[in-house]
Amino acid sequence: MKKFLILLAVLMLGFTACGDDEDGPKTTLTIANMSSYNIIDIEYSSVNFSSMPVGSKMTREVSPGINYVFLSIRTTTGKVRYRTVDLIDANEGIDKEFVIVNSSFIIPVAGGSANSLQNICDELDLSDVLFEIGDTGPGDGIIFFVSGRQYMECSPELGNYDWRDATRVGRNHRGGGFTDWRLADRESLDLMYKNLHGNGLGGFSNSNYWSLAEVNTTNAWAMGFADGSLISISKTNAYSVRAVRSFNF
């Protein structure tokens, strides 16, 4: 019986140690996808970061130490997938960030604007992974505004609707799987008109496009893409719809 109790105590200590391991110290790890591809799945130290579209960024708590990164990438054709593995050191108590540029891992040194993602890409001549006006964005839209690390993209044509249905269609658009789409406001329409339509980009027609802004209970603002003019018109008219979203690195 004595031997049995000693064995039981040892087993209980073992289970306690295992439990302590699971609740051990954590550190913050941020992953930024600045590659040319959507990441299907990424895992570090048994922590899943889930899917990460181009241009997205995600932070998770992980156990410190040197661990493998398991990465599944889908190319822009959507047909080819491959898996790559690398080692990343996440130090205890020190927030860590690394950038994925295609199959490479780049770890910025903490602190200072010189170590921003924008500057890292500039230093390594990786400007092609950043977005420019007219590029396809993370939500499969068209980039129409760029300012530093701030971007805006618009959807393709979503059809012709009256104003109330236009707001619903814009809000329910799910390009790239994102849920933050909305009907374009007046400022967004103006930027799309100047930066895209004015340069023959974006596939716009010369028709009217609804804005999110209301004039009163019966009218809302629309923009005529023939000349860029704003017009107050009845909400019952059916006009073209573009959804927009903002994102940043």
Domain coordinates of the chain in residue numbers? 26-129, 142-248
Q: Per CATH, which fold does 142-248 belong to? A: Mannose-Binding Protein A; Chain A (3.10.100)
CA distances for 127 relative to 123, 132, 139, 236, angstroms: 9, 9, 20, 45
Q: Tokens 């997205």 correspond to what residue?
A: 56
| Region 26-129: CATH code | 2.60.40
| The pLDDT of residue 204 | 97
Q: Within 10 A of 23 (CB to CB), how many other CB atoms are there?
A: 7
Average pLDDT score, the chain: 77
The reported pTM is: 0.56
Q: Tell me which of 26-30, 117-121, 154-158, 225-229 is least confident.
A: 117-121
Residue-wise pLDDT for 6-15, tens only, equals 332 333 333 3
Residue-wise pLDDT for 141-177, tens only, equals 999 998 876 889 999 999 999 999 999 999 999 988 8
Report, in angstroms and rounded to the nearest whole number, the Rg of the chain calculated over CA atoms.
25
| The pLDDT of residue 13 | 33
